[in-house]
Amino acid sequence: MATNGKVSVRNSMRFKSDPIFPQLFINNEWHISSKGRTFPTVNPATGVKICDIQEADKADVDKAVEAAKAAGERSAPWRKMDVSSRGRLLHKLADLIERDRVFLATLETMDTGKPFLQSFFIDLDGSIKTLRYYAGWTDKIHGKTMPVDDSFMSFTKHEPVGVCGAIIPVGQLIKETAARSNLKRVTLELGGKNPCIVFADSDLRLAVEETQKGAFYNQGQCCTAASRVFVEESVYEEFVRLSVASAKSLVTGDPLDPRTSHGPQIDRKQFDKIMQLIESGKKEGALLECGGRAVDDTGLFIQPTVFSGVKDHMRIAKEEIFGPVQCIFSFKCLPEVIDRANSTKYGLVAAVFTKDMDRALSVSSALEAGTVWVNCYNALHAQTPFGGYKMSGNGRELGEYALAEYTEVKAITIKLSNNL
């Protein structure tokens, strides 16, 4: 049962008719790992083990890469398949995910602690929409013709890069390894210490709602977390008051209960790191307005936490917390807040809250971030590119821009024999 401030976790849902496959999926088959090693996955809300997962070794990864290479050979059925048929297969995958949406959302919630409604309406919905978006692109990746001199004709075509690996969450290590190797192409979506700027003319209740959505979504375990909120001095106290009231209204409890809006952290290591950073905030002089404590002993729950009076030199202002901690700063003037917002090694996302669209556009241009939201937060769409500046990553995901990361551009030039 979900409660406000206290957790009572029911027995997790069980889908006895739906199997869970903890094996490795390679070349369209389920496999036991080459060395037989496994690792447990635990429900962070209850501490109960869900199952043991097969742990892939180098030999397993090599086998998967070879299978992917074989699928990309010119004689392979996938390579020979016409592009429209590939799009239909992506639509079919989206249909299957939609069919099993409740089951998949439940597994995600049991595995990560994310509230079920977030898994169902955000994660699964986003996955389905992204597959359908790129299904529409399969027959629309066009080359160009280029004007050259009269004796030649040149055109381009886009060809697949080949086997791509998606690895989470050691992006910086991948970047360093790739730099030492053979120029492998790497795209990275890394961390963030994302600034939100709230001007006095903004809709204050909207700004509170959206910045807290950014701060507490998935218990703050999100690269886009709204972890630095800069509020203009004249409305600072009111913003803090409304933020505290909003944080206290969040319902902490069983993530499978639809009334729950705040679940547990994903594991003990992350839980301990967050609690240490909360303690550092208190020791360095920030004012703990609410939260800051573990909720109970059975799960990895941390109360939604709000700090006011945060200064730029504090650890909670500089380090990516990856937890349910909202840090609220004050500012006096526009040049000051732009400098402070950009004073970080990260540059993933940012937000601006104001009714003045001229100011919104000028501030958006000045912020060093790959995405800037105006009067909203976490507004992610399959059509819109996503990625970061500085240490927040390389390249872009989503939208047409992402296609460039997975294709090579080939220029073909033909000598014309008959000149008119």
Tokens 């401030």 belong to residue? 5
**What whole-number distance in Å separates Cα of residue 77 and Cα of residue 415?**
33
Tokens 């399969």 belong to residue? 138
Please pick, among 55, 73, 176, 189, the residue that the annotation labels catalytic. Answer: 189
Helices marked H in 73-145: 77-80, 83-99, 101-112, 116-118, 125-135
Of 253, 222, 213, the closest CA to residue 321 belongs to: 222
Tokens of 34: 């080459």
Angle at which helices 83-99 and 125-135 cross, to 10°:
170
Upstream peptide bond of 169 is cis (omega within 30 degrees of 0) = yes
Helix H, strand E, coil C: the string for 328-392 is EEEECCHHHHHHHHHCCCCCCEEEEECCCHHHHHHHHHHCCCCEEEECCCCCCCCCCCECCCHHH
Q: Is 189 a catalytic residue?
A: yes
**What whole-number distance in Å separates Cα of residue 36 and Cα of residue 48?**
23
Tokens of 200: 């006095």
**What whole-number distance in Å separates Cα of residue 342 and Cα of residue 338?**
6
- Catalytic residue ranges: 189
